[in-house]
Amino acid sequence: MAKRSTLRRVTAGVTMVGAATLAYASLVERNLFTLRRYDVPVLAPDAEPLRILHLSDLHMTPGQHRKQSWVAELAAVDPDLVIVTGDNMAHVDAVPAVLRAYEPLFDRPGAFVFGSNDYHGPVLKNPFGYFQKDREYVQGVALPADELRDALVGAGWADLNNARTTIKAGGRVIELVGVDDPHVGRDDYPSVAGPADPTADVHLALAHSPEPPVVNAMAADGFDLILAGHTHGGQVCVPFVGALVTNCGLDRRMAKGLHRWPGSDALLHVSAGLGTHPTAPVRFACRPEASVLTLIPR
């Protein structure tokens, strides 16, 4: 009887800890929006710093007013350039909410690529499916990607979905290249590939999902800094271990943050993003984030 009583107490304790952890992950941590800051040594000697605000994976729904306000307030960091790496929406009526979040930033130069969840809405999934490398991608309801694209371009931001351009920001000439989402095969880097322009002051590359073949090609072309999202930083991480999955070909150790891309001079910044898949609204040991990347001399 004593053993049974002890077992019941242990089971009850584990259940309570699990319930408390789930409550924290779903009600608290996923709303603890955090601003990360990184110094990125990619500029020429004696160059003045250039400040980039990197946003990704908002997965916005119309009712997420706190998230909208938090993003809008990021205008106070006074970025020279705003970069958005996709998965802005998670609802067919989300475009006005996304634009409310971005509107105070529209007076800054900006550029964007889309992710799969800008084209199709969320579908209920088995979360353990993310451990399967070759799992089938299931598309949800069509989202108003063209409406969002037109609004962002109309605000003056560059559409880099399989495109390449040069803009001025912070008094510098910035070469930009990007691809549509490699995670679902929408990328076409060969159509925009080529050596980085030596007359530009800095060279930036964008992709929603940091798939290694695409990052390799961008790094080989001489782009200084590659920006991506998609991974959610693992979303549910193990303390002192980190991400268990990245939902792409990227190594788990690079699931978020700033990293030197192996075998190159390029740096990769992966944002853990600000949202979650609506059918799995939890984060644990991986706060939602935006990043300020201050480019400084090498």
CA-wise closest residue to 71 among 37, 91, 97:
97
Whole-number pLDDT of residue 12: 39
Element spanning 36, H or E: strand 34-43
User: What pTM, to 2 d.p., does this model score?
Assistant: 0.90
Element spanning 295, H or E: strand 289-297
- Can you give the length of the chain in residues? 298
The helix/strand count (H/E) of the chain reads as 5, 14
Whole-number pLDDT of residue 277: 81
CATH classification of 32-297 is 3.40.50.720, yes or no? no
What tens digit of pLDDT does each residue of 255-271 get? 999 999 999 999 999 99
What tens digit of pLDDT does each residue of 115-153 get? 999 999 987 665 655 555 666 666 789 999 999 999 999
- Using a 10 angstrom Cβ sphere, with 0-12 exposed, 13-18 middle and 19 or more buried, the burial of residue 213 is exposed
At 136, phi and psi to the nearest 5? -75, 140
What tens digit of pLDDT does each residue of 152-185 get? 999 999 999 999 999 999 999 999 999 999 999 9
Average pLDDT over residues 51-60: 98
**Type of residue at 22:** L
CA-wise closest residue to 160 among 121, 196, 126, 186:
186
Residues 58, 274: contact at Cβ < 8 Å? yes
Average pLDDT over residues 208-224: 98
- Using a 10 angstrom Cβ sphere, with 0-12 exposed, 13-18 middle and 19 or more buried, the burial of residue 142 is exposed
Instruction: Look at residue 211 and tell me whether its pLDDT is greater than 70.
Output: yes
Residues 19, 77: contact at Cβ < 8 Å? no
Whole-number pLDDT of residue 282: 93
Bridge-partner residues for 53, per DSSP?
82, 292
Element spanning 22, H or E: helix 2-23
Q: How many CB atoms lie within 10 A of CB 64?
A: 23
